[in-house]
Structure 1
Amino acid sequence: MKARPKKTIETVHQCCGSPLEPTVPTRRVANVCWGGVDLAELLNEIGVDANARFLWSYGLDGGEFAGTSCDWYLKDLPLERLSAGGVLIAYELNGAPLPAEHGFPARLVVPGYYGTNSVKWLWRLQLAARRADGLFTTTLYNDASDARDLAAGLPPRRPVWALAPESIIVAPAPDAAVALHEPVEIWGWAWSFRGIAGVQVSTDGGINYRHATLEPRRGWAWQPFSLQWRPSHRGVAQLCARAIEAGGAAQPVEGARNAIHTVRVMVE
């Protein structure tokens, strides 16, 4: 693999949380740089059967999870995702050899998709005309479709693939003290598969929102946002951030892994 041209991708990388609690936000997220082989170029060189629609990826970890025994960690990926670019078989993380806990010697990396799809300890790839039948493609990591999806004829279960719009407030930190009438910068990160078009910030627990300054998207990386705030009342203030992606979808208030992030601060 290292004899082939190396491609480097900077991307946000997010765990979608426990598949047993799909509506609980965990916000285990970072922005990292991967190095490896471009998967689309590799497959084009090998040649892909016209009937293939999915790529099955096998990881060298197995065992029992949620009462079911699995020989391998198996995920699938729609081949059409490759057209958006950036999918790698990675062997480097942030310029260093891939650590064992992150999938050494090689892992799949799918920018813009939740981390569960970036299979670690990769040992096999298989092209198929249908989705894989494993525990982590059928039962787990599948969300229930809402009424609009069902009315549109979509299946009752949707695979957890593309990153939903999300944002986090980095500063002020939770339970930080800020000064009355003094300027405070509220800033953080926002991301989604389709990119974020705007971020709104509330300083009153979600009653009113203001538009934050948002930097343009740069590849698959997350986008910084900021808002200047001058507290006018003493006491507890609830800061909220709501990301809106390019297609118009916004973060829900609650009941989803990408529910609105709230930070409590004290105005003194």
Structure 2
Amino acid sequence: MAKGWKERGFFELYRDDPERADALVFGRRSGASRRGFLQGAGLATMGAMVGGAIPFSGSMPSGLIPAAMAQGSSAAPKILKMDGKAELVILGDKPLVAETPEHLLNDDITPNDKIFIRNNGIVPDQFAGDPNGWALTIDGEVNTALKLTLGELKQKFKPVTYALQMECGGNGRAAFEPKASGNQWGNGAISNARWTGVRLKDVLEAAGLKSSAVYTGHYGADPHLSGDASKPAISRGVPIAKAMEEHTIIAYAVNGGPIPNVHGFPLRLIVPGWPGSASQKWLNRIWIRDREHDGQGMTGTSYRVPVKPMIPGSKADPSNFRIMESMPVRSIITNIANGTELKAGTRAIALRGHAWAGEHSVSEVHVSADYGQTWRKAKVGKAANKYAWQTWNADLTVPSEGYYEFWVRAIDSTGRGQSHAAANWNPQGYGGNVMHRIAVLIPA
């Protein structure tokens, strides 16, 4: 990867005095709207600030916030320092939440150190006993309640290994305007690790589902942030049909070894393609319900999206919300980091990344170097199995040195694609799947 360019006055100006920056670049006075395309002194100002000409400035959409500006418009991120983890970006300390920058997600199979971190409660101390002694209870609307140790799960049920997406329901939240509540994820709340475990379907069939079984309710050993032992940190569930899907597994290993404690050692659920909050960590109970589960994180606007569009920033009516299920289509560029300075003289650029689409597959990926005026179709690879992301590759050519933005968008097998701006605003910021953009500089 090419070296990243040094932060310039452009970044600092927008961070410290955005009104003055707009006035310099867009000719905007306080309270006025942007005049449209960059031109004249504004174009010269931006070019000087980013360190080069902007060859496709005439195609820059009106009011667009350049990717370079977005990169430097806030204070430097806090970097995670944890044994066994890469330098993730910390979004929250209590609970611990950390995002994986897109350029660290270039591996086809996400290694353990690059799996993002999302917690709702306190990370429990690592289980000190024999992991095979960890117990899981299956009860509720079943013919035979079960209490199985991890050792018994391994002995009694067929093991399976799949490459599976795990994505936070709030991935992309930072793109919403006005700002939605919660951790301000970019695109890095995603992983595609290789998980090993047993099918939840097989275990539920062993318990015998009653005809009244409708939904699951998941529980884990992580304490509530308040420390109140009577409160679950989170307890979500899924419809029985999703629980019985063959790729929904009770996992005890990842990438060929034990699950790291921060990711749920020794046992967790993986419910691929759906919000990661359903993939309960430190799993110790699955309650089969005769109704939709109403545990912590299942009601109000938690992991729920509007049925009818709402006015951005308006008060939510909980009766207008439904549980979020399949995650939307998304694509990222992974082989070049935002803010990279490429080698002088570069004209041909090979781009690579991944795309995924929840319950669906990715049918097309397109890339652009001229602010979306023209698009080049990428080559999209096949998924390793259902719910694994798909790797794409594309070649772009640029006409000269200067500042460029590379954009990527994906379309899923139902024809749905990614937008320029986050759509279907909701107070918790779910489902924001805007196109990924990176800024690069090619020096003279």
Q: TM-score, normalised by structure 1?
A: 0.88
Tell me, in whole angstroms, the C-alpha distance in 2 between the residues paired with 1:261 and 1:21: 20
**C-alpha contact (below 8 Å) 1:25/1:259 kept by paired residues:** no
Structure with the largest fraction of helix: 2
3-state DSSP class of the match of 1:172?
A: coil
The match for 1:145 is 307
Q: 1:254 aligns with which of 409, 412, 421?
A: 421
1:13 equivalenced with 2:178 (yes/no): no
Q: CA deviation at 1:206?
A: 2.6
Asked if structure 2 preserves the Cα contact closer than 8 Å seen for 1:38 and 1:87, the reply is yes
| 1:214 corresponds to | 380
Q: Indicate if the aligned counterparts of 2:219 and 2:232 stay in contact, CA closer than 8 A.
A: no
Could you say which residue in structure 1 is the equivalent of 2:352?
187
1:53 and 1:128 in contact (8 A); partners too: yes
Gaps of 5+ in 2: 1-152, 174-179, 311-318, 423-430
CA–CA separation in structure 2 for the residues paired with 1:121 and 1:94: 18
The reply to whether residue 102 of structure 1 matches residue 263 of structure 2 is: yes
Task: Confirm or deny: 8 A CA contact 1:180 1:232 kept in the other structure.
Answer: no
Q: Of residues 210, 232, 256 in structure 2, which corresponds to 1:49?
A: 210
Contact 2:350-2:395 within 8 A present in 1 as well: yes
Structure 2 Cα separation of the partners of residues 189 and 71 of structure 1: 34
SS at match of 1:91: strand
Give the drift of 1:27. 2.1
Distance 1:27 1:158 in 2: 25
- Match for residue 265 of structure 1? 440
1:201-225 alpha-carbon deviations (Å, 9 max, x no partner): 1112233322111112221211111
Q: Which has the higher strand share?
A: 1
Q: Pairwise mapping of residues 1-268 of structure 1 onto structure 2 (< 5 A)?
A: 1-4=153-156, 5-17=158-170, 20-21=181-182, 25-64=186-225, 70-139=231-300, 140-147=302-309, 156-178=320-342, 179-180=344-345, 182-193=347-358, 194-219=360-385, 220-255=387-422, 256-268=431-443
Q: Using the TM superposition, give the Cα deviation of residue 64 of structure 1 relative to its aligned residue in structure 2, in angstroms.
A: 4.2
Gap change, CA 1:211 and 1:263, over 3 Å in 2: same
Over alpha carbons, which structure has the higher Rg?
A: 2
The CA deviation string for residues 59-100 of structure 1, in whole angstroms up to 9 with x for no partner, is 2223248xxx93342001011114542111111111111221
8 Å CA contact 1:170, 1:189 repeated in 2 = yes
Q: Distance in 2 between matches of 1:172 and 1:254?
A: 22
Q: Is the 8 A contact 2:217 2:295 kept in 1?
A: no
Amino acid at match of 2:432: R
Distance 1:42 1:83, change over 3 A: closer
Q: RMSD of the TM alignment (CA)? A: 2.3
Identical positions, percent: 28
Contact 2:401 2:442 in 1 (8 A): yes
Deviation at 1:24, TM superposition (A): 5.2
Comparing 180-189 and 97-106, the one that deviates more: 180-189
* Amino acid aligned to 1:236: Y
Change (3 A) 1:60 1:20: farther
Q: How far apart, in 1, do the equivalents of 2:237 and 2:388 lie?
A: 23
